[in-house]
Amino acid sequence: MAEFDSRGLAISTDSPQAASSYRAGIDLLLSAWPGAEDTLRQAIDHDHQFALAHAALARLHAIRAEPAEARVRIATAQDIVARNGLPREVSHVSILSLAVNGHSAKALESALAHLDEWPRDVLILSLPLGAFGLFAFSGMADHDRARVDLCERVADRYDADDWWFLTYRGWSHAENGSVNRGRDLALRGLELRCANANAAHAVAHAMFEQGATREAEALVDDWLPGYDRAGMLHGHLAWHAALSALERDDPQRALAVYSEHVQPSVSLGLPINVVSDTVSLLWRLQAAGHAVPSGLWEDVERYAESRFPKPGLAFIEVHMGLLAAATGSGAAASDRIAANMRRVADGTLPAGPVAPSICRAAIAFATADYAECVRVLEPAAADVPRIGGSGAQRQIIEDMLLLALMRSGESTKARDLLDRRLHRRPSQRDARWRRHIEI
Cα separation, 378 vs 255, in Å, equals 30
Least confident of 16-20, 125-129, 409-413: 409-413
The segment(s) of the chain belonging to CATH 1.25.40.10 are: 3-121
Interval 159-179 mean pLDDT: 97
H helix intervals, 31-121: 36-46, 51-63, 67-84, 87-100, 104-117
**Between these two residues, 229 and 334, which has the higher pLDDT value?**
229
Q: Beta-carbon neighbour count of residue 104 at 10 Å?
A: 18
**Amino acid identity at 424:** R
Cα separation, 134 vs 137, in Å, equals 5
pLDDT for residue 1: 54
Interval 188-196 mean pLDDT: 98
**How many CA atoms lie within 13 Å of 234's alpha carbon, on the beta-carbon side?**
18
Yes or no: domain 131-210 corresponds to CATH 2.30.30: no
Residue whose C-alpha is closest to residue 325's, from 281, 374, 360, 285: 360
**How many CA atoms lie within 13 Å of 374's alpha carbon, on the beta-carbon side?**
17
**Amino acid identity at 27:** D
The torsion angles phi and psi of 378, rounded to 5 degrees, stand at -60, -45
Look up residue 290 and give its DSSP letter: P
> Residue 425: which pLDDT band, with cuts at 50, 70 and 90?
confident
The torsion angles phi and psi of 221, rounded to 5 degrees, stand at -60, -35
Interval 74-82 mean pLDDT: 97
CA-based angle 28:33:39, to the nearest 5? 45
pLDDT beyond 70 at 52: yes
pLDDT beyond 60 at 174: yes
pLDDT beyond 80 at 169: yes
User: For 95-151, how does the pLDDT look when each residue is reduced to its tens digit (9 = 90+)?
Assistant: 999 999 999 999 999 999 999 999 999 999 999 999 999 999 999 999 999 999 999
Per CATH, the homologous superfamily of domain 3-121 is Tetratricopeptide repeat domain (1.25.40.10)
Q: What is the mean pLDDT of the chain?
A: 95
pLDDT beyond 60 at 71: yes
Residue whose C-alpha is closest to residue 246's, from 232, 266, 231, 262: 262
Interval 324-332 mean pLDDT: 89
Cα separation, 214 vs 316, in Å, equals 29
User: For 201-216, how does the pLDDT look when each residue is reduced to its tens digit (9 = 90+)?
Assistant: 999 999 999 999 899 9
Confirm whether pTM is higher than 0.85: yes
Cα separation, 8 vs 28, in Å, equals 17
Q: Which residues contact 138 (CB under 8 A, 6 or more apart)?
A: 104, 105, 108, 350
Strand partners, 4: 10
Cα separation, 115 vs 132, in Å, equals 19
pLDDT for residue 434: 83
Long-range contacts of 1-9 (CB under 8 A, 24+ apart): 5/52, 5/122, 6/122, 7/120, 7/121, 7/122, 7/158, 7/162, 8/120, 9/88, 9/118, 9/120, 9/121
Cα separation, 174 vs 202, in Å, equals 8
> Residue 439: which pLDDT band, with cuts at 50, 70 and 90?
low
> Residue 222: which pLDDT band, with cuts at 50, 70 and 90?
very high
Interval 178-187 mean pLDDT: 97
Least confident of 26-30, 117-121, 230-234, 286-290: 286-290
User: For 359-408, how does the pLDDT look when each residue is reduced to its tens digit (9 = 90+)?
Assistant: 999 999 999 999 999 999 999 999 999 999 999 999 999 999 999 999 99
Strand partners, 10: 4
> Residue 438: which pLDDT band, with cuts at 50, 70 and 90?
low
